């Protein structure tokens, strides 16, 4: 069949050209042996994936080749990572085994491929994503390259996600923005992070994405004119420095512009810092700092600076390695412009993060910031009791957050996550200092242990041998290290108490001529404890009255319990009342869940995001609240899909029902008297014929803000209202708030 042969030849051409592109993209020096190994990995992968195709129909092998190219070109990794990337899917999906890889490429590469393969298994249907993330991090501690390759893998999958069904797109986007984007940020891969966020927004909020992209395009010429107006006078003075430099102004990413629009509640047209100006100097390492400050002084000579906006990450780099000098100045026409000043080396670290950091490591004499970050992760992982979900939450709050800089009495600087407390500080110095901490002075003033540290605080700890942690301490710390240390101390305590409790019950059963070993399981279950340790500890603490045991019959040395008794805390609350038929929704519209009429699920609309017909939606199965329909842009969506992906279902609007929804709007403007309320209500009720459920308005010095709750049939009608209201006199903004 000539057609088929042609297809095969086309595929082959495609594959070979992708491979050539990969080879060209390698930036580091590679020797003949590396080149041979890369070739070998490529051949094995081509052979192994030969029968497979991607959802889009293209040969599967293009995926690993492209992932390898991203590693080489966009992250700046070397031959080891390139080989591992080429092989990253073979063990999982083909006949090639880990042993084969070990044999041909050695232990290092086999281990990385093994790490990447493990990351893909989702054995556990509950918390699968959280488990998965925990795995990502345990491999990261072992070899950061595993995670960097995983980033490249995810990036390529996100770039080519179009062929996937919609519900999968949503789930992958949720996971990406919940885990991979912040991790990319933490590893200093700013470009990757930004692209993740943009790709996610394109999936979850396509309309808004397109709208901003279009507006950026339309305003490009205008913006470029402004940028030259801003840059030209700077160039003249920078030339006098007689160094080589680059200067440019670039628009910010679509997702970051969108965030600003949402946060400040202003339209696109009113966002002025749509771009940042970057000045990159090419100077020797030892001149970087003075030259950056010289450039700063030139910038602020020409344009007036706003001193509070100066951020000096040249003197103190961010803990992800980022170095740069940022300032905001007032440019022509009184607009705020952010200027970033850095060296070529700093720029490379800003673009490539971890990989670039390695490259410059040898010539760096300060403490290794990544090492201390990895140490923190190891601390978090140490806590074996923690379930995956708790782990992810801790990780996010500890290691993705901003930091606060504080000092020991001797003046040594300590970096802790923002929100860390005085007690966290004690544990960061030494576990024993944490355990025995009795009092804390900050800047010579006595503070409570839960005092939240601020930049520049000097912290002094007093200890006593008799002090030890208690349950309350857990509420006073935020760092994973302190938490896991306190927990293990409490566990140790619990074990001691449990031993005493065990003796007590043994004695009691002895009187009844019963054996503990035979009865322990049944008694534990009877009182509703998860394990014997908890049971014994409760006995010691007197929470349980062992006299109760005499009330039951004994057969062959076993106590026969009738029905399991519930512990007081675990008595279930009255079952939640059925869906309240209050004024929320007047007629229930038909939603299709997984393509079938949703009635059988007895769903309700989530009140956190109030979906309106036409919104992009999904269904979420709650543990005791039934099925709820959320908007895909719901602030809780990401959390739900990432941590409970298995509980989300596809939902669509069925189009043959006419029903009503409640939409909440906030309307702001300049108040020119009582006329506003009248105009707004008459526009909605009389002209558009819609019902207002509630309307409240508050004002201050001519400015007012009103909250309107109104009943609409679908998103079309809603946008009609939005347009109509925006055009009214005295109305400046109208926004939907759910
Ligand atoms: Mn892959």
Catalytic residue from among 34, 58, 92, 312: 92
Give me the mean pLDDT over the 654-665 stretch.
Answer: 71
Secondary structure of residue 666 in the 3-state scheme: strand
Report CA(118)–ligand 1 centroid distance (Å).
12
Residue 318 backbone phi and psi in degrees, to 5 = -65, 160
| pLDDT above 70: residue 385 | no
The per-residue b/e assignment along 175-200, b for 16 or more CB within 10 angstroms, e otherwise, is bbbbbbbbbbbbbbbbbbbbbbbbbb
Is 616 assigned a catalytic role?
A: no
Report CA(92)–ligand 1 centroid distance (Å).
10
Supply the pLDDT for residue 387.
64
Report CA(61)–ligand 1 centroid distance (Å).
10
* Mean pLDDT over the full length of the chain: 81
Q: Structure tokens of 241?
A: 């420095």
**Least confident range of 302-316, 424-438, 588-602, 698-712:** 588-602
Report CA(153)–ligand 1 centroid distance (Å).
5
Q: Structure tokens of 469?
A: 């942690």
Is 92 assigned a catalytic role?
A: yes
DSSP 73: I
Give me the mean pLDDT over the 720-728 stretch.
Answer: 83
DSSP 452: B
Percent of the chain predicted with pLDDT > 70: 83
Give me the mean pLDDT over the 647-666 stretch.
Answer: 75
| pLDDT above 50: residue 365 | no
Higher pLDDT pick, 312 / 638 = 312
Report CA(399)–ligand 1 centroid distance (Å).
26
| pLDDT above 50: residue 576 | no
Band (621; pLDDT cuts 50, 70, 90):
confident
Band (354; pLDDT cuts 50, 70, 90):
low
**Least confident range of 52-61, 276-285, 402-411, 426-435:** 402-411
Neighbours of 91 (CB within 10 A): 22
Residue 148 backbone phi and psi in degrees, to 5 = -65, -40
Report CA(366)–ligand 1 centroid distance (Å).
37
Pairing label, strands 336-343, 413-417: unpaired
Contact 736/615 with Cβ under 8 angstroms?
no
DSSP 49: T
Task: Tell me how far apart the alpha carbons of residues 144 and 373 are, in angstroms, rounded to a whole number.
Answer: 12
The per-residue b/e assignment along 422-442, b for 16 or more CB within 10 angstroms, e otherwise, is bbbbbbbeebeebbbbeebeb
Task: Tell me how far apart the alpha carbons of residues 185 and 160 are, in angstroms, rounded to a whole number.
Answer: 22
Catalytic residue from among 7, 43, 47, 93: 93
**Least confident range of 75-84, 479-488, 631-640, 716-725:** 631-640
Supply the pLDDT for residue 20.
95
| pLDDT above 90: residue 634 | no
Report CA(645)–ligand 1 centroid distance (Å).
20
CATH 2.60.120.10 fits 2-205, yes or no: no
Pairing label, strands 445-447, 437-442: antiparallel
Report CA(149)–ligand 1 centroid distance (Å).
9
Q: What is the 3-state secondary structure (H, E, C) of 533-600?
A: HHHHHHHHCCCCCHHHHHHCEEECCEEECCCCCCCHHHCCCCCCCCCCCCCCCCCCCCEEECCEEHHH
Report CA(100)–ligand 1 centroid distance (Å).
19
Alpha helices in 249-406 (DSSP H): 254-264, 288-302, 344-352, 354-360, 369-382, 388-399
Assigned CATH topology for domain 661-737 = Alpha-Beta Plaits (3.30.70)
Supply the pLDDT for residue 229.
93
What's the pLDDT tens digit per position in 445-497? Answer: 889 899 999 877 889 999 988 888 988 899 899 888 888 889 888 888 888 88
Report CA(396)–ligand 1 centroid distance (Å).
25
DSSP 59: B
Contact 229/220 with Cβ under 8 angstroms?
no
Neighbours of 682 (CB within 10 A): 12
Report CA(123)–ligand 1 centroid distance (Å).
18
What's the pLDDT tens digit per position in 133-174? Answer: 676 677 766 777 888 898 999 999 999 998 888 888 988 888
Residue ranges of domains in the chain = 2-205, 210-360, 489-560, 591-653, 661-737
Q: Structure tokens of 3?
A: 């057609």
| pLDDT above 90: residue 529 | no
CA distances from residue 707 to 634, 664, 704, 738 in whole angstroms, order as listed: 20, 7, 10, 12
Report CA(99)–ligand 1 centroid distance (Å).
20
Give me the mean pLDDT over the 519-535 stretch.
Answer: 85
Report CA(67)–ligand 1 centroid distance (Å).
8
Contact 586/660 with Cβ under 8 angstroms?
yes
| pLDDT above 90: residue 290 | yes
Percent of the chain predicted with pLDDT > 90: 27
Contact 352/184 with Cβ under 8 angstroms?
no
What's the pLDDT tens digit per position in 28-53? Answer: 788 899 999 999 999 999 999 988 88
Supply the pLDDT for residue 584.
39
Arch. (CATH architecture) of 210-360: 2-Layer Sandwich (3.30)
Contact 669/731 with Cβ under 8 angstroms?
yes
Q: Structure tokens of 728?
A: 């009214």
Supply the pLDDT for residue 124.
39
Supply the pLDDT for residue 585.
39
Supply the pLDDT for residue 580.
37
| pLDDT above 70: residue 713 | yes
Contact 460/433 with Cβ under 8 angstroms?
no
Report CA(606)–ligand 1 centroid distance (Å).
35
| pLDDT above 70: residue 583 | no
Task: Tell me how far apart the alpha carbons of residues 15 and 11 are, in angstroms, rounded to a whole number.
Answer: 6
Supply the pLDDT for residue 376.
67
The angle that helices 79-86 and 144-159 make with each other, rounded to 10 degrees, is 50
What's the pLDDT tens digit per position in 531-574? Answer: 888 889 888 877 777 777 888 888 888 888 765 444 433 333 33
Secondary structure of residue 13 in the 3-state scheme: helix
Pairing label, strands 275-282, 244-251: antiparallel
Task: Tell me how far apart the alpha carbons of residues 430 and 42 are, in angstroms, rounded to a whole number.
Answer: 49
Report CA(163)–ligand 1 centroid distance (Å).
15
Give me the mean pLDDT over the 387-405 stretch.
Answer: 65
């Amino acid at each position: 069949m000539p057609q088929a042969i042609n297809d095969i030849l086309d595929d082959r051409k495609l594959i070979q050209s992708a491979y050539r592109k990969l080879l060209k993209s390698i930036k580091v020096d590679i020797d003949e042996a590396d080149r041979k190994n890369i070739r070998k990995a490529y051949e094995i992968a081509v052979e192994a994936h030969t029968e497979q195709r991607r959802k889009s129909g293209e040969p599967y092998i293009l995926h690993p080749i492209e992932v390898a190219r991203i590693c080489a070109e966009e992250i700046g990794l070397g031959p080891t990572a390139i080989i591992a990337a080429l092989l990253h899917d073979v063990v999982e999906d083909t006949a090639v085994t880990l042993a084969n890889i070990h044999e041909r490429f050695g232990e290092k590469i086999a281990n990385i491929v093994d790490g990447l393969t493990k990351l893909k298994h989702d054995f556990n249907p509950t918390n699968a994503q959280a488990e998965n993330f925990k795995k990502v991090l345990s491999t990261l501690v072992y070899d950061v390259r595993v995670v960097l390759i995983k980033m490249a893998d995810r990036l390529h999958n996100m770039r080519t996600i179009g062929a996937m069904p919609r519900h999968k797109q949503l789930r992958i986007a949720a996971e990406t923005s919940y885990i991979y984007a912040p991790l990319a940020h933490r590893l200093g891969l700013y470009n990757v992070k930004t692209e993740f966020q943009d790709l996610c927004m394109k999936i979850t909020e396509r309309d808004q994405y397109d709208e901003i992209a279009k507006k950026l395009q339309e305003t490009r010429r205008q913006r470029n004119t402004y940028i030259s107006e801003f840059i030209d006078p700077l160039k003249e003075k920078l030339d006098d420095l007689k160094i080589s430099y680059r200067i440019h102004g670039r628009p910010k990413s679509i997702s970051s512009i969108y965030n600003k629009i949402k946060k400040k509640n202003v339209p696109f047209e009113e966002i002025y810092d749509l771009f940042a100006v970057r000045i990159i100097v090419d100077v020797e390492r030892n001149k970087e700092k003075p030259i950056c400050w010289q450039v700063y002084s030139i910038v602020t000579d020409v344009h007036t600076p706003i001193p509070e906006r100066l951020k000096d990450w040249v003197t103190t780099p961010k803990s992800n390695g980022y170095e740069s000098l940022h300032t905001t100045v007032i440019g022509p026409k009184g607009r705020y412009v952010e200027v970033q000043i850095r060296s070529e080396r700093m720029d490379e670290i800003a673009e490539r993060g971890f990989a670039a950091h390695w490259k410059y490591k040898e010539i760096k004499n300060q403490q290794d910031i990544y090492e201390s970050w990895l140490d923190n992760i190891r601390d978090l992982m140490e806590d074996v009791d923690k379930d995956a979900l708790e782990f992810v939450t801790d990780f996010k709050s500890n290691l993705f957050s901003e930091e606060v800089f504080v000092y020991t009495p001797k003046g040594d600087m300590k970096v802790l996550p923002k929100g860390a407390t005085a007690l966290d500080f004690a544990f960061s110095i030494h576990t024993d200092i944490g355990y025995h901490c009795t009092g804390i002075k900050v800047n010579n003033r006595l503070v409570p242990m839960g005092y939240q540290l601020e930049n520049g605080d000097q912290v002094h700890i007093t200890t006593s041998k008799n002090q030890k942690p208690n349950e309350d301490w857990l509420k006073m710390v935020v760092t994973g290290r302190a938490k896991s240390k306190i927990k293990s101390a409490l566990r140790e305590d619990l074990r001691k108490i449990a031993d005493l409790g065990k003796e007590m019950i043994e004695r009691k059963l002895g009187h009844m001529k019963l054996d503990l070993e035979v009865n322990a399981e049944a008694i534990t279950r009877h009182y509703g404890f998860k394990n014997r340790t908890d049971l014994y500890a409760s006995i010691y603490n007197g929470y349980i009255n062992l006299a109760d045991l005499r009330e039951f019959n004994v057969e062959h040395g076993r106590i026969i319990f009738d029905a399991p008794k519930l512990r007081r805390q675990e008595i279930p609350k009255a079952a939640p009342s059925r869906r309240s038929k209050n004024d929320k929704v007047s007629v229930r519209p038909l939603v299709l869940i997984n393509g079938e009429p949703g009635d059988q699920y007895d769903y309700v609309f989530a009140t956190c995001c109030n979906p309106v017909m036409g919104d992009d939606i999904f269904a979420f199965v709650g543990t005791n609240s039934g099925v709820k329909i959320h908007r895909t842009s719901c602030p809780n969506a990401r959390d739900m899909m990432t941590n409970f992906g298995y509980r989300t279902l596809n939902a669509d609007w069925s189009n043959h029902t006419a029903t009503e929804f409640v939409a909440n709007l906030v309307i702001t403007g300049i108040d020119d008297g009582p006329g506003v309320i009248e105009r707004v209500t008459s526009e909605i009720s009389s002209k558009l014929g819609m019902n207002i459920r509630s309307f409240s308005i508050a004002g201050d010095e001519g400015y007012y803000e009103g909250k309107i709750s109104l009943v609409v049939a679908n998103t079309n009608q809603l946008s009609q209202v939005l347009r109509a209201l925006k055009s009214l006199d005295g109305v400046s903004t109208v926004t939907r708030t759910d």
